[in-house]
Amino acid sequence: MTEGTLETGVIARGAPQATPDVAANGYSIKWLFSGRTAPGAAQTLGYVAIEAGQKNPLHAHPNCEEVLYLISGELEHSLGEEVHRLKPGDAIRVPAGVKHDAKCVGTGPATMVVCYSVPDRQMVSYE
């Protein structure tokens, strides 16, 4: 198998080195599992990287909650009106419909895994 591939809908390999599915303005996402990449999946899992000083757009997921686990780097993560500082090993739960974004405030990139409670995550952007 090559880097960044999905084996029969069961194993996703090579996320950090894989070509991202989303790449814009200093952040990238590689979808590991979703209803689209692995038919029959009941959730969505992705690997995200945000470069130092960059952020993802303010957005919400009307049909699911999100759980984010920070692997490396530091984030300021907004959750509604609150802002939380996350360091490696921290996780945050974003309820469905809550506006949020993440800004990398460390000197290197922030890497994380994100999980959504549905296989067909929806997103509404506010930027």
Q: What are the boundaries of each domain within the chain? A: 6-125
Determine if the pTM surpasses 0.85.
Answer: yes
Tell me 3's DSSP state.
T
pLDDT of residue 14: 83
Indicate the average pLDDT of the chain: 93
| pLDDT tens digits, 4-58 | 667 767 888 888 888 889 999 899 999 999 998 888 899 999 999 999 999 999 9
pLDDT higher at 93 or 6:
93
The fold for domain 6-125 equals Jelly Rolls (2.60.120)
Length of the chain: 127
